[in-house]
Each structure stands twice: as C-alpha cells, then as structure tokens.
Structure 1
Amino acid sequence: MSDIMRIGISALMAYQSALNVASQNIANADTPYFSRREINFTEFPFDSGVNVSDVRRIVDETANRYAQISNSDYSKWSVYLQQLGNFEPLFDDNTTNIGKFITDTLGALQQIENNFNPNNRALFMSKLAALSQQFQNINGEINRQTQNVSLSLQTEVKQVNNLLGSLAEINREITGSGGVERPDLLDQREALVQELAKYLNFTASVDQNGKLDISLSNGMSLLSSNPPVEFVTLTDPANPTNLNIGVKNGTTTIDVTQLITSGEIAGWINYRTNGLAAAQAALGRLALAFSDKLNTQNKLGIDGNGNLGGNIFANINTASAMANRVIANSNNAGSASMTVNIDDTSQLTTSDYRLSIGASNTYVLTRLSDNTVVSSGTISSFPQAVTVDGFTINVNSGTLSAGDQYLISPTYGAANNLALAITDPSQLALGWPVTASEGTKQPGSNGTIEVKDITDTTTSDFSIPKQLNPPIEIRFTSSGGIVQYSLYNATTSTLIEGPITYDPTSGANIFPTPANYDPGYRVSISGNNIQDGDTFNIAYNTNSASDNRNARTMVQLYQQGSLLGADGRLITFNQGYNLLASDVSVKTNEAAARYETSARVREQAEERRDRISGVSLEEEALNLARYQTAYQASAQVLEIAKSVFDTIIAITRG
C-alpha cells in the first residue's frame, strides 16, 4: 500500500516540476538569449516511483560563440555603412558638389575668353569665392564628423565599462552561490556577452568554477582583476585630433586600438580613417593643386591696373601651413623642428607619411597608404631636406632620438586654407604683360610676330613696374640670301645679341637666344619673305584692361593634367574631384555589400542558436499537455491508493 502512495506522490511532484519547466520556457519564449530548460527523469529504486534527476539549461557554447562573432562583425559594418551613407551626399549633391563649383569657375573664365568686360571679370571672381567657401564648408563638415566620431567613441567606451561591471557582478553572484547552478544568471550573462560583442571583439571563456573571463586578442584579461579593468579614450600620440581606445588597469593604461577589429568601435574608427581622413586628404590635395596652378598662372599675367599679377589664393607654403604639415609624436624624446614645403602639386598623393628615427639619426620615411618605404638614410646635420612625392621635409633644428616618430601630412589643412588673397576683380591678372608688334615693314614683307607664352615674371626684365627692362627692337638684315636678325635695347639702341640666322622654314622662337638670354617670355616670328630693314617691337602691355590672353591660358589649366591619377597619369581638376567622389561611393557600396553579408551570417548564427537553445512554442505546448495528463494520472494513482487504503481500514474495523 505504501509503495503505491510513494509512486503516486513522486510522480505528482515530478510532473508538477515538469509543468513548471514547460511554463517557464513558454513564458520566456521571447526573452532575448533565454536558453530553454529541459527536465530529465530517473526511476527511483525499489519500485519507489520517479525522480527529477536534473533540469538542464540547453546551450551550445560553439553556437553562442558563433553568434557573438557574427554580432560583432555585423555591428561594425552597420555603423560604417550608416556613416558613409550620410557622408556620401556631400560629394554628389548638386548643392554641395565641389565639381560643380569648379565647373562654374571655368564657365565664368570662358566668358572672359569669349567676351572680355568688367562684369565677366567680377563674375569669375565671385565664382572663385564661392568655390573657396565650398571647400571650407566641406572641410568643416569633415571636421565636425571627426569630432562626432570622438564623442561616439566616448559613449561606446562608457557602455563597454557598464557591461563589464555587470558581468563582474554576475561573476560574484555565481561564484558565491555555493556551487548551485543559477540558470537565470547564466542567461543574463549570455545576454550581456552578446551585448558587449556589439561594441568590440573578444574571447569569452568560463573556468571550472563557472567564472567568466573576457580577453582581447593579445590575451589581456578584462574581468580577472577586482575591480575589472576600465576602458578609456586616449589622445592619439601620433595625431592629437583623434581619440584612441585604451585599457586602464590600476595606474597602467595600454592602447588597444589596433586590437579592436570588429564591433561598433571598430566601425567608428574605420569610418574616421577610411572615410573622413581619406576624403579630407583628397580634398586637400585638390585644393592645393587648384590654388597653386591658378596662383602660378596669375603671377605670369598683368591685372586690370597694369601691374604684374600676384596670388589669387593664399600661398600654399605659408610658414604656418608648412609647420602644420608635421605632427611630432607626443612620446618623442627629441625636439627636432620640421616643416614641409609643397614643391609640385602634380606629384602629390593623398597619403600621410611616417618619419621614423633610428639609431645615429638614421631615418625611414614610409608612405602609409601602401606601407611603402619611399626614402631612408641619415640626417647628418641641420638643416637637411628630404624630398619625395612632390614635397620636401625640412629638418631645421633641434635634436633627434631613436624611436621618435613624426606624422607627415602634406595635405593637412589645405581645403580650409583655400581662401582668396585678393579683394578686387581688377587684381585678376587676365592679360599678359608683354605685347609684340610690327615696326618698319618693307614692301613685299610677310613677317609677323606673336607673344606665345609668359614663363617667368621674376627676371630683371620685369624689375621696373609697368615697363620692360629693356623693351626690345628686333632688326632684320639680309645679305647674300642669308636673313639674320639682331636684338637691340629699344630705348638706348644698344645691341643685346646678334646677328642670329633666321630660318624661314620653321620660324624663329626668339627666346632663349643662342647665347641663352631669357627675359621670361616667349616670342616667335614667322614669314618666309622677311626683308632687309624689317623691324619688330616687344614692349610692356599698356592695354591690360582689355587683354584676355592669360585668361585663355587659365582655361587650358582646367583641361590639362594637374593631379596624379590612380594609374600614375595626370588628371584634370574635375577628374580629380570625380576620383574623390567615386572613392567615397565605392567604399559605400563595398560597405553595403559587407553589411548585407554580415547581416545574413548574423541571421544564420541566431537561427543556429535558436534551434539549439530557443523555445519552440509548439513543442512546449505538446510537453505541457503531456505533463498535464501525466500529472492528472499521478493524482488518480493517489486517489486509487486512498480508496484502497480506506477499504482496508473499513474491513479492519468490521
């Protein structure tokens, strides 16, 4: 009789537990990272019924690890794509497109080429001002977004620290539970681990006491110390405008930026480096080339007041600009003073460079875009220059120490520095300072003269304002069928050089002369029937207000190669901008593809985990019905046992 009672009671209690487990599973079907429970029964010995041997938390650590890794990768590409998607319109929208602003300046310049008047000169000036402002606007937006990256990194670091603190608290609860398993804590811990994976990559492991540890790829433990380590943001010693990620343990802080390769933190850093910094460097290079080419050509011309032209835009090699292109690493022991001079904008890349100092003042200069050593040697004395890729590093003074590093950024600040240096449209030097004309012309002569180019206005020939020094008269003589010419100072009739044989088949490019006299301009004479006594004159241009020859030459600047292209060939200003916009677009498309792939992988990882640990409502409903039936049957066993017991008692009393 007692056996039936024990069997009934044990079954009733077992299936009540089973009903509790099924109900708990159903209640948490939508709880993130809840791992379903599975109840197991064993037979009591000696016909004593059933026992609940254990309630297992169904979990697969491999599936959880796979979900963690895919979650981290997805988060990285999600942030990177979202930021690039917001950034890309800056370069292809009609209201912000720098390429459109460049085209606008060309259109205004072509109007001067076709119809020279003061209104067109003012229009060209206004278009240059608008272009300058737009360069600064885009550069300012890049700076603001760089600051936003820093703010976001600070926020993410706080989240990481909060999660590590919560994980440390769960560790304390688990290890203090006296060996009693707490499935609820394990589920909470798994949810926190997966949340942490959104921010950075790591390895999670559990020791024999059930204590969780989180470690970075270099083996650094994040939870083993008490209190746990703290993540912090650090000023990048190589570039103070950027924040790096560090781990602080007591009084020691270690930079771990390079160890974080996935998660939202990696996404922000990737966006800063490959999105913002790359675009800013390309924008700066375009600004340098545009301002340098137009400045150089304007200085070869003559303005509306008859003066030689100056810079249209601020000089690209001001003292401050040259100094700002070098950033000394804050950990340097040496005190060297350096500047960077831009020599040839057509040879500039968009890369930054790292100058590393070794023993005995040896150096290695590495182009960071492709990690190529572009120069190496020894800095034996001060000052010393290192010239590569269109720029020169001037090591001016101070001391060098082994281990010192310097970030060389030739394009630094260039887009923001693109500012007009003139305030009056009349200062645009749209004419040439030299005119050439026919003087005495003998009957039957067909000689003509033309100024072909201006090459240098810093020669002594332009040393007197609004004059040539000297003006030149070209006198032709002919004897025995040989035609010759001589150059004279038109003011003093002093012979400069000659006689020089004239070749009528190819014409005469007068300068440089056979004796290498070069006044800084190019003049040619043509005609196959130049007569003895013909003369030609070269003088300073006194009609600059209606001369557009330098404007025509400026138009050609837009049509010729001025920037180094991806294949090593020179490309135009607009092609350079299109290369910049295309690079941003390509990166956005690549990020979209990587995001889609990571999203699918993450979905598969979640499905894999759910197949193992997730709750199936259909299965639990069946279990619930089965356990309820078994529970009711167990209750019936007890009813039968009670009825039998009552019958036996009644017989005994009778």
Structure 2
Amino acid sequence: MVDASRVAITGLQVFQRALATTSNNVANVGTEGYTRQRVDITTRPSQRFGDGFFGSGARVSSVQRIEDQFLNARVQSSSSDVARLDSYLSLVNRVENLVSGSQGGLDSALQNFFNSLQDLSNDPASIPARQVVLSNSDTLVARFKDLDASYNDINREINTRLRGDINDINSLTSGIADLNKAIVEAKATTSGQGVPNDLVDQRNVLVGRLSERLAVNTVELSDGSINVFVGGGESVVIGSLSRQLSAINDPANPGELRVGIEVGSSAFDITDKITGGSVSGLLDFRSEQLGEIRNQTGRLALVLANEFNAQHQAGLDVNGSLGAQFFASSTPQTLANQNNTGAATVTTGITDFNQLTTSDYELSYDGANYTLTRLSDGVSTSAVAGPFNIDGIQVDIAGAAAAGDSFLVQPTRNGASGIGVLLTNTSQIAAASPVRSLESTANLGSAVVTTPEVLDVNNADLFDTVEIRFNSPASTFDIVNVTDGATIAAGVAYTNNADIDFNGIRVQIQNQPEAGDVFTIERNTGGVGDNTNAVALLGLQTAQTVGGNATLQEGYGALVSKIGTVSRQTSISSQTQQALFDQAVQARDNVSGVNLDEEAVDLVRYQQAYQAAAQVISTSNILFDTFLAAVRR
C-alpha cells in the first residue's frame, strides 16, 4: 500500500507541473513572441517484486517549446521582405508626389513658360508680355531648385534613417548576445538537459526585430546559443559576443552613407551584401531610383538652359544688342575618391547636350589603363590616357594617378540646382532677329528671300549689309558686302530654295529671279516689333532636345511615368508580400501559438488526473489504516 501512495504522489507532482505549464500558456496568450509549452511525461523505471515488475509512477522529462523551425524561418524571411518593400514604397511615394503634383512638379511650370513665349511672339513689343516671360522663367527655375532641394532632403533622410536602423541593429545584436550567455548559463545548471524557454522566446523576439532591419541567418549550437549572420555570411553575433555595425561615409560620394561592420579598429563595407529589411529598402531606393531621378531632372535643366541660351543669343534685344545668356547653368560634377593616393585631377565637360544620359560614370585606374564605366549598365571603355568622349561628355585627365584611384563623374547631377535666370530687365529679352532680309522694290522676278537664320552670332561681319545680286542671265548671282565693298562670292549658280551661307547667316531664295534683282540682308535696326527669335524660342517646346528623341515636356513626362510605374509595381509587391507574411504568421501560430480552447481541455484533463491521483492516496491511506487496526487486535 505504501508503494501505491508513492506512485500516486509522483502523479500529483507530474500533474501539478502540467497544470502549472498550462496555466502559464493561458497567462501568456497575449505575450509577444511567447511559444506554447508542453510538459513531456514519461514513466519512471519499474521495480521488481517477486517474479514481476511493477510501475513506480511518472515523471516530467522536459518542458518543450512547441515550434516548427521551418515556419519560424518563413516568418523571419517574410518579415524582412515586408520591411524592405515598406521602406522602399514610402520613399517612392514621396518622390511620386513631388514630381506629379501641380504645386511642385515641372509640367505646369514648363507649359506656362512656353505659353508666355507664345504671347510674346504675338506681341513682341509688349512690356507686360515680356514681364510674364521673366516671371514664368523665375517660377520654372524655382521649381527645378525646389525639386532638387527635396531630393537632397530625401537623401539626408535616408542617411538619418540608416543611422537609426544601425543603432537599433547594434542594440538588438547586443541583446541577443546577452541572452545567449544567459541561456548557456541556465542550461549548464541542469547539466545541459533543461532549456530556459522564456529566455529563448525573448531571444527569438529580438531576432525577429533584427530581421525587420535586414535579412539574417541563424545557426543554433549545442549549448543553446545561436550565431547570427548578415550580408552573405558576416557574423554579427557569435555566442555571447556581438559585432557592431556603423554608418560610414562613401569615399566615392561623401554625401551618401554606407554600412560597415567592425573589423578590429576599422570598418569593413558590407553595403553591397545587405539584403532584406528596412536597411535594404533604403539602400536599394537610393541606388535604383533617387540617383537616376535627380539626374533626369538635372538633364532637363541642362538641356533647357543650353538650347534656350543658344537660341536667345541668336536674337536681338530691345536695345539693339545681341541676346545674352538667358539661363545660368551648372557644370558636370567630378568627385575624387577619398582613398586616392595619386595626384591626378579629372575634369568633365559637355560636348553634346542631346546625347546626355541619366547615368553616372566611374573612372578608374589600374596602374596601366584608365577605364570609364557607365554605371547604369556597366558598359566600359578603356584607354592608356584620356580624354574619353562618350554620351555627349568629355572626360579629361591631368597629372599622374596611382593604381586603384577612381573618380565619380556625374554629368547631370547638379543641373537642377545650378539653373538660374540671368536677365534682370524685360528689355534684355531678345525676341527679334539681329538681321533682316529685304527685297528691292525694283525687282522684276517672282523670287522672294526667307528670314535670315543666324548660324554664328560671333561672326565679326554679322551686322554688315550684304546684297545678293542676280547676274544676266539670272542663273548666277554675286554676294557683295556693301559695308566694305568686298565681294564675298561671285558667279554662284542659283538653285531654288538652296541654302546661301555667309557672315554667320543663312538664307534661301525661292521662285524665279530676273537679271538685276537684288536682295539685301542688314542689321535689324528698330526691330522692336519683330518676333522672329521669339518664334524660334517657342519652337523649342516641340524640338526633340532630350536624348535626341523627346521634347522637354516629354522628357519630364517619362520621368513621372517611370516613377508612377515603380510605385504601382512596388505597391502590388508589398501587398503580395504582406499576404504571404500573414499566411506564414498564421501557419506558425497554428503550431506555436496558444489556443485557449485547447488549453481549457488540457486543464480539465490534468485536473481530473490530479484528482484521481489524490483519490489513490486517500484510498491507500484508508487501506493502510485498516491494516494497522487489524494488526493491533
């Protein structure tokens, strides 16, 4: 009977622990990261009595966390993907609102600017019309500058958020290392048999939060600790030790931060190895979108300034002077890598604005050859020395470079910030042509001369009076500089509507001239009402000046369309990934989460078992008392 009591007592102890574990599950139903626990009950070794073996009760062999490592890994991976897309999408939406908004975008400002040029061409002498042109040009320039300032703000925000995420990562890895130490120490007190489940749950919560910052891989060791790896194999936690990440300046582009990991007293750059998490979202947006968007906007500003200036300088202002530069413009930016050891200097100029791309370039030197690489697609050109001519730019090299030196070439990066309006007075707007063409009233033929086109405003003889005189027969003509009496060309064969070039000017004569007909090209004195150059300036609205295949407004429309497409695609990907994450969490919780209905069933089951064990003890006591009473008689 004594043996029966002992067996029942083991049952009481077992079911008491089972009830406690179930109660703990219920109490932690709302605790973040809590994993459902289960008591594993096994039989005690049986004992031999006489010719047989009798059971000696039950014992608790372990308290297990109910989990599926595969499902945990799915949740962790999906969490990284969701965080990356959320971070990426928030920045894409910011830029989309900037470029497509009526208040901050360029489209309406460009249209208003060209509308004012249309009004000026209709009434070139109108001071109010000229004032509107200046006002709208100021507005257009302000839009360019505001956009670039906003891009800079976003870049600074990315740097700030990177620092914040890196600080969080360091705090989390330090916490994981501390918990590793506590788990190993706790497990050692049970000779390696028991596991401090609550500490493991706390560590898993930190790993989950870490995976929201960047993708991680974990490896569990036999002592209960885990090693954590990021960036394709870089360890950030090894047992009870953690390695710190840091925000480091990009030596090639100091305005951008990169991610480094401590190696001794220095930091090793792992930026290009990072995947997943909010850090990856920030870095990917900056490299895939922000740089190109800034370059696209800058290219538009550069093309506008160059094309408009060239045409404006081919006109005549109210004061009778050749047009000045209308817009200020920036020059390409070239940055020497801060780790360079050589003495070379690199300068970049633009040779053809129509060929400009939206890419940056890297010039590197290996000790024998220079290589210029277009970073957008990796296409490269190598040579022993410069200059390099590619995509409308010329890269010149002076001085001696050292092996390993590199330079970042950004032809259009500062275009939007560098544009400005140089004119200060309406009289400076060159709406008229500097020269005009006249037909002699004595002409007998039906020929007419076109409005002169200025090819070279710097030609010293531009304003000289020139006559085109038809000989007899009228199949040839002479070109005579009336100002100095010199014959520019004699006996030129006449072809209807053919180009006739002289003194930086081009005209055409159309129809049939007669012998003695004279056509005069002279300075456009008093041509305030002439709209020739205003019409030419307005023509830039439809000229394919961007990349040789798009107008200014089409170029900007392509920018808006591209970022809109990226926004939609990223939004769809984000929604899809969120759904996958929710499914992964649900699958994990089905295994590891606390189900109150199941726990209620377990409570009843263990309670009944506990009561049964207690009844066994009570019965054993009654029988034992009966036995003692019988012996006393």
TM norm structure 2: 0.95
The offset of 1:643, in angstroms, is: 2.2
Aligned equivalents of 2:240, 2:71: Cα separation in 1: 30
Counterpart among 485, 488, 510 of residue 477 in structure 2:
485
Using the TM superposition, name which of 283-292 and 4-13 deviates more.
4-13
Task: For residue 203 of structure 1, give the secondary structure of its aligned residue in structure 2.
Answer: strand
Is the deviation greater in 87-96 or in 53-62?
A: 53-62
Question: Could you give the per-residue CA deviations for residues 60-83 of structure 1, whole angstroms, max 9, x where no partner exists?
Answer: 222222211111111100111122
1:112 is aligned to 120
Give the alignment partner of residue 182 of structure 1, picking from 188, 196, 200. 196
Deviations 1:378-424 (A, max 9, x none): 11xxxx421100111111x2221121111111112110001111111
- Output the amino acid matched with 1:540: R
Instruction: Name structure 2 gaps, 5 residues minimum.
Output: 47-53
**Equivalence for 2:424:** 423
CA distance in 1, matches of 2:489, 2:172: 86
For the residue of structure 1 that corresponds to 2:528, the secondary structure is helix
Q: After TM superposition, give the deviation of residue 341 of structure 1 in Å.
A: 0.5
1:596 match: 575
CA contact (8 A) 1:3 1:47 kept: no
Give the secondary structure class of the aligned counterpart of 1:547: coil
Give 1:93-104 correspondences, 5 Å limit.
Answer: 93-104=101-112
- Alignment partner of 1:283 out of 297, 316, 330: 297
Verify the 8 A CA contact 2:449 2:508 in the aligned structure 1.
yes
Matches within 5 A, 1:405-424: 405-424=406-425
Cα deviation for residue 225 of structure 1 reads 7.6
My pick for the range that moved more, 239-248 or 328-337, is 328-337
Q: CA RMSD in A?
A: 1.7
Matches within 5 A, 1:439-478: 439-442=440-443, 444-462=444-462, 468=463, 470-478=464-472
C-alpha distance 268-508 of structure 1, shift in aligned 2 (>3 A): closer
Equivalent position SS for 1:622: helix
Q: Which residue of 2 aligns with 1:552?
A: 535
Which residue is 2:50 aligned to? none
Aligned counterpart, 1:515: none
The secondary structure found in structure 2 opposite 1:163 is helix
Corresponding residue of 2:377: 370
Question: Is residue 491 of structure 2 the alignment partner of residue 499 of structure 1?
Answer: yes
- Alpha-carbon distance in 1 for matches of 2:239, 2:60: 39
Aligned residues: 619
Contact 1:440/1:534 (CA < 8 Å) preserved in 2? Answer: no
Cα pair 2:436 2:452 within 8 Å, conserved: no
- Note if 1:519 corresponds to 2:503: yes
Residue type of the partner of 2:358?
T
Give 2:471's aligned amino acid: T
Question: Offset of 1:139 from its aligned partner?
Answer: 0.4
1:390 is aligned to 392
55-64 or 569-578, which deviates more: 55-64
Is 1:650 paired with 2:621?
no
Q: Who is 2:609 aligned against?
A: 630
Shift of 1:30: 2.2
Counterpart position of 1:356: 364
User: What is the distance in 2 between the residues matched to 1:95 and 1:221?
Assistant: 48
**How far apart are residue 238 of structure 1 and its match?**
1.2
Find the aligned partners of 1:81 and 1:580 in 2 and give their Cα distance.
17
1:492 and 1:49 map into 2 onto residues whose CA distance is: 128
Q: Residue 465 of structure 1 aligns with which residue?
A: none
* Structure 1 residues 430-471: Cα deviation after superposition (integer angstroms, max 9, x where no partner): 1110111123514x4333222242211111213xxxxx1x31
1:226 to partner: Cα distance: 6.5
Task: State whether residues 500 and 508 of structure 2, in contact with CA within 8 Å, keep that contact through their aligned partners in structure 1.
Answer: yes
Instruction: Indicate whether 1:612 and 2:591 are aligned.
Output: yes
In 1, Cα distance between equivalents of 2:252 and 2:29 = 50
Are the aligned partners of 2:123 and 2:529 in contact in 1 as well (CA < 8 Å)?
A: no
- 1:509 aligned to 2:499? yes
Q: CA deviation at 1:227?
A: 4.7
In 2, Cα distance between equivalents of 1:285 and 1:164:
44
**Which residue of structure 1 aligns with residue 146 of structure 2?**
137
Summarize the Cα distance change of 1:520–1:160 in structure 2 as closer, same or farther, 3 Å threshold: same
The structure-2 alpha-carbon separation of the partners of 1:533 and 1:357, relative to structure 1 and needing over 3 Å to count, comes to same
What residue is the counterpart of 2:51 in the other structure? none
Shift of 1:267: 0.7
- In 1: Cα distance, 2:362 partner to 2:240 partner: 39
**Structure 1: gaps (5+ residues):** 463-467, 512-517
Distance across 2 between alignment mates of 1:329 and 1:492 = 58
Q: 1:212 aligns with which of 205, 215, 226?
A: 226
Q: 1:64 aligns with which of 53, 69, 72?
A: 72
Report deviation, 1:649: 3.1
Which residue is 1:404 aligned to? 405
Q: Percent identical across equivalent pairs?
A: 32
